[in-house]
């Protein structure tokens, strides 16, 4: 960036267009682009150019040189802000000058100091405001997430179905779509299914904490296990990014949703185990195959895939049995004293409801 | 008075959902607040455990409605919607009205007794109101999306009202 020797005819804030013009030929292209970009507001700013020369401009010049923000868009925003502030400062100085004259007549030195104090306070406020608005527009910008939600319904449906089909080609790195819409919707669906499972018997135990637990469990699993797997993948030199990991794991929850949706309605233990193995196994195989295709080395592949498979399958097991016990408790209280006394072994369901549900399941199986 | 009339007009719009921009243009959050508070109040005391006071339930319902509405709004904005944040909150809040009506009906039905017949009645009523809510909010929100992505926006709305309907349906007073 050109240092102090700057011809005074140039406006002090380092306008990209004019900076390019003042510099060497290599700066010409961005300079021209900057000039083109600044073409529209140049008319507004043109009026200030005359005012920027002289004593005030030197101070502003140093300020500009300290700033080395990379993005030219930020520069434009900053330039605009600085122009606005300088305009305000000009006005303030003009008023202050007039005020000073008046005050000076009456109050002498005191009036001058009051004006200066106010000016300094104003400047501090402007600087603070500028920094805050810059930070806000950088970080609280929702557009950061926009590319991850750029999907069509057909794509989402295709990916959902693909998440159950293990790939065969593991020597070639498989493509993972880095989108967040599908996984996010699947996590919310899982929360809804958990709630449904907790309330199938028409009685609520503790509505509030169950809801919080469901949301916390699902989101905690999705975000926590993804981060953990990403960390492991980093250790094992796997080629996968965080968003891809989130996406992969999120789509793996599709199998969980199906399994839980079916088995929360039909309390049939063998049915659950079959679903657990088949559906859970398929989605695990797919995730494992994709990860294997992106990792080199047998030990690393084993570590990554073993951990993922274990966590995935165990989560499904946990979801079924943790909330199944809650349902058992409800069924217990519903049936009342007419039931023959039975052993309260964990995971045994009462005989009568078992028979009813078994016959229901058999009837459905027969009709299918 | 002017605000009250605006709120009343929006309630009428929800009852007969046609595509009008009045609901969207002058958004306000009075209606959603009233509906949310009344729904949360009516859902209190529905626990089988008598040790529970109504506190956590009120807070849970409140948080779920507002958090869910915020998530749906963010989702529709990220999918490229042209509607603003508060407009979307306004529409989603007003469309909770059919479900509040369903809650009232459920409470009245439960006064008569809690048997299978009453369950079927409640199921039908809640199901109908759930469909109405979803259709009403879809009529307002889906228009602001590019045409091939409407399904992506409708699904979270469907889930949101499904969860609220489920809370209403499984409510049993103690």
Per-residue pLDDT reduced to its tens digit, A64-107: 444 444 445 545 555 656 666 666 665 555 555 444 444 445 55
Q: What ipTM score was computed for the predicted complex, to two decimals?
A: 0.85
B166 pLDDT band (50/70/90 cuts)?
A: confident
For tokens 């557009």, name the residue: A143
Q: Which of A149, A184, A204 sits opposite B170 (nearest CB)?
A: A204
Query: What does the pLDDT read at residue A199?
Result: 64
Residue with the bigger pLDDT between A324 and A48: it is A324
Question: Residue B11 pLDDT > 50, yes or no?
Answer: yes
How many Cβ pairs within 8 Å bridge chains A and B? 76
pLDDT digits (tens, 9 = 90+) for A21-38: 444 444 444 444 444 444
Question: For position A18, what pLDDT does the model report?
Answer: 43
CA distance A71 to A74: 5
Cα angle A349, A352, A356 (rounded to 5 degrees) comes to 100
Facing residue for B159 by CB, picked from A151, A181, A188? A188
Are the C-beta atoms of A261 and A193 separated by less than 8 Å? yes
Count other Cβ atoms within 10 Å, centred on residue A336. Answer: 7
Query: Count of H helices and E strands in chain A?
Result: 14, 0
Model pLDDT, residue A247: 92
Section A132-155 average pLDDT: 77
The pLDDT score that the predictor gives to residue B1 is: 80
A295 pLDDT above the threshold of 60: yes
Distance CA B91, CA B140 (A): 7
Contact B56, A209 (CB under 8 A): yes
Q: Which residue has the higher pLDDT, A75 or A140?
A: A140
Q: Which residues contact B24 (CB under 8 A, 6 or more apart)?
A: B83, B87, B90, B91, B140
The answer to whether A178 and A150 have CB atoms below 8 angstroms apart is no
Residue A326 has a pLDDT of 54
Check if A209 contacts B (Cβ < 8 Å): yes
A contacts of B119 (beta carbons < 8 Å): 202
Tokens of A367: 């009709």
Nearest to B149 among A145, A153, A199 (CB): A153
pLDDT band at A194; cut points 50, 70, 90 = confident
How many Å is the maximal CA-CA distance in chain A?
A: 105
What integer pLDDT is reported at residue A46 of this predicted model? Answer: 45
pLDDT above 90 covers a percentage of chain B that reads 10
* Mean predicted confidence (pLDDT) in A298-325: 87
Half-sphere exposure of A315 (CA within 13 A, CB side): 28
Q: CB under 8 Å, gap of 24 or more: what pairs does A98-101 form?
A: none
Q: Is B3's pLDDT higher than 50?
A: yes
- Identify the weakest region by mean pLDDT among A55-64, A223-232, B128-137: A55-64
Does the beta carbon of B114 lie under 8 angstroms from any beta carbon of chain A?
A: no
Strands (E), B20-173: none
Q: What is the pLDDT of residues A146-162, one digit of tens each?
A: 788 888 888 888 888 88
Query: What's the whole-number average pLDDT of chain A?
Result: 71
CB A294 within 8 A of CB A174: yes
Beta-carbon contacts of B96 under 8 Å, excluding residues fewer than 6 positions away, are B32, B35, B36, B39, B65, B133, B161, B164
d(CA A115, CA A112): 5
**The pLDDT value given to residue A70:** 45
Q: What angle do CA A3, A123, A97 make, to 5 degrees?
A: 100
Interchain pair A204, B166: CB under 8 A: no
Q: What angle do CA A105, A107, A110 make, to 5 degrees?
A: 130
Instruction: Look at residue A310 in the predicted model and tell me its pLDDT.
Output: 94
Nearest CA in chain B to A333: B48
Cross-chain residue pair A208–B56, CB shorter than 8 Å: yes
Each residue of B21-69: pLDDT tens digit? 666 677 888 888 999 999 888 887 655 454 544 445 777 788 888 888 9
Residue pair A257/A192 in contact by the 8 Å Cβ criterion: no
Lowest mean pLDDT among A75-79, A239-243, B14-18: A75-79
Q: How far apart are CA B92 and CA A173, in angstroms?
A: 43
Measured CA angle at A69 (ends A65, A70), to 5 deg: 125
């Amino acid at each position: 960036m050109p240092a102090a020797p700057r011809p005074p005819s140039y406006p002090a804030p380092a306008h990209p267009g004019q900076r390019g013009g003042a510099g060497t030929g290599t700066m010409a292209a961005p300079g021209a682009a900057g000039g083109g970009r600044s073409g529209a507001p140049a008319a507004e700013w043109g009026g200030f150019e005359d005012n920027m020369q002289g004593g005030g401009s030197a101070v502003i010049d140093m300020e500009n040189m300290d700033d080395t923000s990379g993005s030219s868009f930020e520069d434009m925003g900053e330039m605009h802000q600085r122009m606005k502030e300088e305009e305000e400062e000009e006005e303030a100085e003009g008023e202050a000058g007039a005020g000073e004259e008046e005050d000076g007549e009456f109050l002498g030195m005191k009036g001058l100091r009051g004006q200066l104090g106010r000016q300094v306070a104003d400047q501090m406020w402007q600087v603070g405001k500028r920094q805050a608005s810059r930070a806000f527009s950088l970080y609280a910008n929702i557009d950061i997430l926009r590319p991850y939600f750029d999907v069509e319904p057909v794509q989402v449906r295709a990916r959902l179905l693909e998440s159950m089909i293990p790939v065969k080609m593991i020597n070639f790195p498989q493509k993972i779509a880095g989108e967040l819409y599908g996984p996010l919707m699947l996590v919310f669906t899982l929360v809804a299914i958990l709630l449904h499972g907790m309330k199938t018997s028409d009685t609520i135990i503790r509505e509030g904490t169950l809801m919080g637990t469901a949301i916390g469990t699902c989101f905690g699993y999705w975000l926590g296990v993804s981060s953990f797997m990403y960390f492991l993948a980093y250790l094992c030199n796997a080629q996968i990014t965080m968003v891809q990991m989130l996406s992969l794991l999120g789509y793996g929850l599709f199998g969980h949703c199906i399994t839980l949706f079916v088995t929360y309605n039909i309390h049939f233990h063998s049915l659950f185990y079959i679903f657990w193995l088949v559906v859970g196994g398929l989605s695990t195989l797919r995730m494992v195959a994709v990860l294997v295709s992106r990792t080199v080395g047998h030990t690393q592949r084993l570590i990554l895939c073993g951990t993922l498979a274990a966590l995935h399958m165990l989560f499904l097991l946990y979801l079924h049995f943790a909330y199944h016990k809650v349902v058992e408790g409800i069924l217990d209280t519903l049936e009342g004293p007419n039931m023959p006394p039975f052993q309260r072994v964990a995971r045994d369901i009462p005989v009568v409801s078992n028979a009813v549900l078994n016959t229901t399941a058999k009837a459905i199986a027969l009709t299918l | 008075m002017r605000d009250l009339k605006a709120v009343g007009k929006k309630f009428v719009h929800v009852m007969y959902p046609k595509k009008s921009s009045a609901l969207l243009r002058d958004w306000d959050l009075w209606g959603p607040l009233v509906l949310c508070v009344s729904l949360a109040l009516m859902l209190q005391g529905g626990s089988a455990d008598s040790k529970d006071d109504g506190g956590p339930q009120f807070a849970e319902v409140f948080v779920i409605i507002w958090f869910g509405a915020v998530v749906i709004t963010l989702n529709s904005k990220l999918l490229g919607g042209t509607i603003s944040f508060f407009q979307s909150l306004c529409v989603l809040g007003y469309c909770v009205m059919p479900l509040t009506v369903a809650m009232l009906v459920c409470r009245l039905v439960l006064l008569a007794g809690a048997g299978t017949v009453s369950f079927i009645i409640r199921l039908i009523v809640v199901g109908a109101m759930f469909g109405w809510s979803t259709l009403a909010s879809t009529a307002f929100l889906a228009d602001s999306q590019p045409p091939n992505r409407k399904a992506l926006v409708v699904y979270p709305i469907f889930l949101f009202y499904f969860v609220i309907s489920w809370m209403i349906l499984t409510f049993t007073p103690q």
